[in-house]
Amino acid sequence: MDYLKAVLLGLIQGLTEFLPVSSSGHLVLAQRLLGIEIPGVTFEVFLHVGTLISVIWVFRERLANIIKSFLVLFKKEEWARFAANPDRRFGLLLIAASIPTAIIAFLLNDFIEKAFGSTLFVGIALLITGGLLWVADALPGGNKDITKTTALDAVLIGVFQGIAIFPGISRSGATISGALFRKLDKRTAAEFSFLLSIPAILGGALVEVIKIGQETAGAAMDWLFYLAGIVAAAAAGIFAIRFFIRLLVRDRLRIFAVYCWLVGVIVILITL
């Protein structure tokens, strides 16, 4: 595989990780329909590092504030207002939402691996993603900012993210839909969804890195090839996040719903 293909896969990963159309589903389709062979799990892990960089960059100020809110707990007076700090509350809710995602990933690991081998499954899952987005877009706008978001809201959004581990179910689409179902306002829903991807991507990448270290110890690696994919995924991810937030605020989720339906139908017809 040459560097151009690494860039192409990086662009696909970066755009579809944050646009609600399923990055895993599109990577599977790129491999099956375009004849692009993904060189093992290692490359996918590096692509996720690229998308991780993009979400950290776009929300760097919020992340810095969340980290600072926990660091100031060294001051005794801060404990009296432990959950009152909105940034600290944001961080706690992200932790709460990550727990059900991890549990679902652990329990359904075998089923998820089988799903990645089925193009038909991806097509059906894309139809489901389209339905989620259409219903979410039809809902009246919520009014919950992060100070009004509850632990139950966070856990249920985490469940939506857990379901999105299956290829064809969009992580961003599922989590934002879950947030809108729970009446979060759209900007809060988007910010929570994208920041929630950090522990999910980081956790998954760490697990795979451990496996890679055990399986490829001492093997030569083309670092420039991986770097090309990372840079492409990061650049595309930054664009996708900012573009998607603008469309979300303007009630344009149905555009992605129609896209998912069209691609899903095409995939199913080709597979059958």
Residues 12 and 47: their CA atoms lie apart, in Å, by 10
Residues 1 and 127: their CA atoms lie apart, in Å, by 31
What pLDDT is recorded for position 166? 87
Are 120 and 114 spatial neighbours (Cβ–Cβ below 8 Å)?
A: no
**Ranges of each domain in the chain:** 3-73+81-271
Per-residue pLDDT 10s for the chain (272 aa) are 577 888 888 898 888 888 888 877 777 777 666 666 655 556 777 888 899 999 999 999 999 999 999 988 887 777 777 777 899 999 999 999 999 999 998 888 778 778 877 888 988 999 999 999 999 888 877 889 999 999 999 999 999 999 988 888 988 889 999 999 999 998 899 999 999 999 888 877 776 666 666 555 555 566 788 888 899 999 999 999 999 998 888 878 889 999 999 988 988 888 87
Contacts 24+ apart (CB under 8 A), 100-105: 100/155, 100/158, 100/159, 100/161, 100/162, 101/158, 101/159, 101/161, 101/162, 101/165, 101/200, 102/162, 102/203, 103/162, 104/159, 104/162, 104/163, 104/165, 105/162, 105/165, 105/204
Q: Which two tokens stand for residue 184?
A: 């979060």
pTM of the model: 0.85
**Residue showing tokens 């801060």:** 78
